Amino acid sequence: MHPDVIFTNGFNLYGVALLAKPVKGIAPALLPTLDQLDSIKKTQTLTVVGYGVQADCSGSGRCDYEFDGARRSATAAIAAIDPGSIDLQINSTATGQGGVCSGDSGAPYFLGTSDVAVAVGDGVTGQCHAISWAWRNDTATARSFLDDFVTVP
């Protein structure tokens, strides 16, 4: 990847894949407005889409991870909204096909059931449970980077 296609802001990395031509039947996600997450309530849900692995932690204290290539989604309530990140309550509120897991880094976090990708996934606590966190796409820093590749609202 070209070095100016990734930037770091503290602990997080963003990347942009530039396609030579549009992919038939796939529309790009929308981006949030500046500081859009500052005005939403913690009762709002986010939908996470990714290709993470299934974890089996029932054995001898170690987890076995199996990547099956399946695309999954989950909807979960917001645990916290921080200046640069957002946390989801995966264990207690996730619905759909589970929650965020290993291999889901870079997954989009959509606002409710909309096409607005308000964050990019980065991590999860423990063995795919409890809290997941993502970096906000509505910050001035993220928007400055993204504006080099797409029009931000």
Q: Which domain holds residue 33?
A: 29-146
Instruction: Assess whether pLDDT exceeds 70 at residue 121.
Output: yes
If you average pLDDT over every residue of the chain, what do you get? 74
Which pLDDT score, from 0 to 100, does residue 31 have?
92
pLDDT at 61 over 90: no
pLDDT of residue 33: 95
Distances in Å between the alpha carbon of 84 and those of 3, 17, 134, 143? 23, 22, 9, 12
On the 0-12 / 13-18 / 19+ scale of CB atoms within 10 A, 4 is exposed
Whether 22 maps to a domain, the answer reads no
Whether residue 73 is contained in a domain is answered as yes
41: number of Cβ within 10 Å: 7
Residue appearing with tokens 């932690």? 57
Residue 3 counted as domain residue: no
Q: What is the pLDDT of residues 36-50, one digit of tens each?
A: 999 887 778 888 887
**What is the CATH number for 91?**
2.40.10.10
Q: Is pLDDT of 94 > 60?
A: no
More confident residue, 69 or 148: 148
pLDDT recorded at residue 10: 47
Predicted confidence at residue 8, as pLDDT, reads 44
Helix extents (H) in 43-149: 90-93, 140-146
> For residue 22, what pLDDT is reported?
82
Answer with the residue of higher pLDDT: 75 or 115: 115
Q: How confident is the model at residue 9 (pLDDT cuts 50, 70, 90)?
A: very low
- What is the number of structural domains in the chain? 1
Please report whether residue 137 resides in a domain.
yes
In this predicted structure, what is the pLDDT of residue 36?
A: 93
